[in-house]
Amino acid sequence: MTRTVGVLGPGAVGAALAVPLALEGVRVVCVARPETAAAIAREGLTLVRQGEELHVRPEASDELREPVDVLLVTVKAPGLQDALRRVSAPAETVLSLLNGIEHMDVIRSRLQGNVVAGTIGLLEAYRESATRVIQTTPRLVITAAEHVSLPGVDVRVMPERALLWDKLARMAPFAAATALTQRPVGDLRNDPDWRPRLERAVEEACAVANADGVALAPEEEWKILETLPATLMSSTGRDIAAGRPSELDAITGAVVRAGRRLGVPTPALEAILEEACRAPSR
């Protein structure tokens, strides 16, 4: 039975998990930068999920100083190193929910306990303030390499490399494209110029995954992409629009680097990534 959950990085994803867990009666400890921890301690956390406003008052600290049953690592890639320095106590299980494929070795080299890879299913959420998060998509689903007990959260199980690549093969093209164009998924999906570019990029990402031992078919990935809400904007696109550090390198860059390592060319992905990196800040 999970008694205490630490949330390392209570941003959009972290709050979307911390609030429902606290409502289920779980003791939640948010670990964040000092100013964010102080705001959460003072105001609590509010999650507005599809119009429903949920409010809790979790514990908050700038450092994890006591053991927890589960530590959720919900920071974005650019903030990972700083966040890991805030962990001074062990967790029985560490569940990483970062995007990409390169972060697991970093986390395992720094944290004790059983480190489990995980991904979040369809989620569009953004911070309105340090203590208020807006979630436009329904209740989230976690896919993890092994079962992790999180009351009130749907956790499904899939082998580690498969779950990481399954999400990354879809995200890599669209994260870069939405960052570059500042247009939502539906616009790009239906654009006669962008659709062929994205199809080639998804094919390349699947080819890299296959070379890394994970069988993915581009047509199956597109079936999932076609179901995404037309108005969906990637968090990478939101971050770049706001001038914040983004996960562009950790997502799209990771696939390009894996392709080079495995001898799989990725010209379509590289072109979109390079254009996104050269684009002026908005």
Residues 116 and 179 occupy one common structural domain = no
Residues 252 and 198 occupy one common structural domain = yes
Domain count, the chain: 2
Q: What is the mean pLDDT of each run of 10 residues along the chain (282 residues)?
A: 88 93 95 96 92 93 96 93 94 94 94 92 84 86 93 92 93 91 91 94 97 95 88 82 86 96 96 85 51
Residue 141: count of CB within 10 angstroms of its CB: 14
pLDDT at 239: 82
* Domain's final residue, options 158, 187, 207: 158
**The two three-digit tokens of residue 113, written as one number:** 């306990």
Residues 131 and 230 occupy one common structural domain = no
d(CA 59, CA 159): 33
Helix residue ranges per DSSP H, 61-130: 80-84, 103-110
Residues 171 and 146 occupy one common structural domain = no
Residues 104 and 52 occupy one common structural domain = yes
Please provide residue 101's backbone torsions phi and psi, each rounded to the nearest 5 degrees: -135, -5
d(CA 119, CA 145): 9
CATH code, 20:
3.40.50.720
**The two three-digit tokens of residue 116, written as one number:** 């489990």
Helix (H, G, I), strand (E, B) or coil at 6: strand
Residues 168 and 144 occupy one common structural domain = no
pLDDT at 228: 84
d(CA 26, CA 21): 6
* Domain's final residue, options 110, 130, 158: 158
Q: How far is CA 281 from CA 68, 99, 242, in A?
A: 40, 23, 8
Q: Name 120's bridge partners.
A: 142
* Domain's final residue, options 132, 158, 184: 158
pLDDT at 249: 92
Q: What is the residue range of 199's domain?
A: 161-278
pLDDT at 93: 96
pTM to 2 decimal places:
0.89
Residues 140 and 205 occupy one common structural domain = no
Q: Is the dihedral of CA 111, 117, 123, 124 positive or negative?
A: positive
Residues 73 and 193 occupy one common structural domain = no
pLDDT at 207: 97
Residues 79 and 142 occupy one common structural domain = yes
